[in-house]
Amino acid sequence: MPTQPSPPSSSPSPSPSPSTPSPPSAARPPTVLHLVQPVEGGVARVVVDLVRAQSAAGLRTVVGCPRGGQLTEAAREAGAEVLTWRAGRALGPGLAAEVLGARRLIGRVRPDVLHAHSAKAGLAGRLAVRGAVPTVFQPHAWSFDAVGGATAALALRWERFGSRWADRVLCVSEAERRTGESEGIAARWSVIRNGVDLGHFRPGDPDPVRDKARARAELALPAALQGDGPLAVCVGRVCLQKGQDILLRAWPELLGAVPRARLALVGDGPDTERLRRTAPPGVHFAGAVRDIRPWLRAADLVVLPSRWEGMALAPLEAMACGRPVLVSDVSGARESLPPGQARLCLVEPEDPTALAKALAGLLAEPRLLAELGEQAERHARTDFDVRRTTDAVTGLYHELLGRPRPLNQERISR
C-alpha cells in the first residue's frame, strides 16, 4: 500500500544529476519520462494508454519502472523505451536509494517533461528533480486516503510540501481535486478524467443476451458459477483498497434475497488467499487474467466496492461493454455514472448491509439491469473515450513546455 512521509530533514547524498532540458525543437521531439510505481492494475493501464497515444503523436516516450508486473512488456509494445527503476510499492528504508535511482534515470534520459505516477513515484521523482524539470504529478488516488493515524498525517504533510515541485498536479476527477484542496494542498491543478479504449472495450454482440451467452461459453464457467441465476463480477486487484472483503461480507445477506446469485472475483493480490479461505458458497476466484472483456461481458452486473479511488477504470470498462455497475461513493464514482443512476448504483463505502441491499435490488430485476446497461454503454461512448484523455494530457505537456521556467527555481547542474 503506498504511503508517503513528511518532507525529509535532509536530501539524499549528492549524485549524478538530471540535466535541465533544452527546449525541444522541430528536429527533436519532446521527451516524456513516465516514472511509475505500481506496475500493474489501473495505473499501468493508464500509462500504457498515454504511451501509445504519445508515441503515435511523435513524442519520445520513456517509462522508468520496477521490473515485474504488466507494465514493462505492455509499455514496450505501445512504443516506449523502458528502463528499470528499482523502487518498492510501499515506503521503506530504501527511499534514499530510490530517489538516487530516479536522479540517475532522469540524468540519463534528460526528459523535457517528467510525469510521475502515483505516490511512490511522485515522492521520489519530485525529490529527485525539485523543480528543475517540468513535472506533472498524477496521484491516481491520494496516499493519505490509503492509510490512517500518524501515517496519514505524514503523507498529507508531504503532499502539502511536495506540491511546490509539481508544475501541475493532475487529477482524474473533480472529486480527487476537491479532496486535495480541502486538505490544504496548494497546487496548480489540472483535471483530466480517465478514459478507456472504446474500440477494445465494447459489447461482443449487439444483442446483450447473446453477448452474455457467448462470453460465458468462452469462459467455460466453473461449477461454482453454473446455473441460471444472475452473475455479479468484481474486477480489480484483491487488496484493501478495492474492498472485496466488504463484498464477501455482503454476499450471504444478498443470497437471502436472491438465492441463485453467483459472484466472480477477477484479479489477484495480497488478500487473495485470506479471502478465499473465508469466502461463502457461490463465489469463484478467477485470478489474474490477460483479457478482462469476457468476464465483463459475461456479467449481469459489475460491482466495485472500493474504499478509495481517483476514478476507477473497471467501471468505465464495464460500461463500455454495455454492463451496469454498482460502485461505492468514493472519488470519481459519481462522475463515472450515467445521469440518474446514482440512486440505484451508488452505495456508501464500507457498508456491507447497504451493499447487499443495493445488489439485491439490481440482481432481482433483469429488465432493469438491461436498461441500465444500455444507458451505461451510451454514457461511456459519449464521455469516456481515451483519445480525449490522452490528447488533453499531451496538450498539458505542450502548455508546460511553452511557458518559461521561473528563474528562482532550483536548478540541477549538468
Note the pLDDT tens digit of each residue in 203-256: 999 999 999 999 999 998 887 788 889 999 999 999 999 999 999 999 999 999
Residue type, 183: E
Contacting residues for 181 by C-beta, under 8 A, at least 6 apart: 189
Strand order across the 262-266 sheet: 283-287, 262-266, 231-235, 301-304, 325-328, 346-347
Could you tell me what percent of the chain has a pLDDT over 90?
Answer: 82
Note the pLDDT tens digit of each residue in 44-53: 999 999 999 9
For CA atoms 148, 187, 405, 38, the dihedral sign is positive
| CA–CA distances in Å: residue 15 to residues 9, 100, 106 | 18, 7, 12
pLDDT at 40 over 60: yes
Note the pLDDT tens digit of each residue in 361-393: 999 999 999 999 999 999 999 999 999 999 999
d(CA 244, CA 233): 11
pLDDT for the residue numbered 150: 86
- The confidence band for 26, taking pLDDT boundaries of 50, 70 and 90, is low
Separate counts of helices (H) and strands (E) for the chain: 16, 13
pLDDT at 4 over 90: no
pLDDT for the residue numbered 146: 82
Going by C-alpha positions, the residue among 93, 94, 27, 26 that lies closest to residue 66 is 94
Q: Are 344 and 361 in contact (CB under 8 A)?
A: yes
- The confidence band for 281, taking pLDDT boundaries of 50, 70 and 90, is confident
d(CA 139, CA 229): 39
CB atoms near residue 150 (< 10 Å): 8
pLDDT at 71 over 80: yes
pLDDT for the residue numbered 413: 28
pLDDT at 9 over 60: no
- The confidence band for 406, taking pLDDT boundaries of 50, 70 and 90, is very low
Contacting residues for 189 by C-beta, under 8 A, at least 6 apart: 168, 169, 171, 177, 180, 181
pLDDT for the residue numbered 13: 39
23 or 307: which carries more pLDDT confidence? 307
Note the pLDDT tens digit of each residue in 77-127: 999 999 999 998 887 788 999 999 999 999 999 999 999 999 999 999 999
- Mean of the per-residue pLDDT values for the chain? 90
Beta bridge partners of 34: 63, 115
Note the pLDDT tens digit of each residue in 130-178: 999 999 999 999 999 888 888 899 999 999 999 999 999 999 999 999 9
- The confidence band for 11, taking pLDDT boundaries of 50, 70 and 90, is very low
- The confidence band for 1, taking pLDDT boundaries of 50, 70 and 90, is very low
Q: Which residue bears the cell 451508488?
A: 346
- The confidence band for 14, taking pLDDT boundaries of 50, 70 and 90, is very low
- The confidence band for 10, taking pLDDT boundaries of 50, 70 and 90, is very low
Confidence (pTM) = 0.88
CB atoms near residue 26 (< 10 Å): 5
pLDDT for the residue numbered 323: 98
Give me 51's grid cell: 504511451
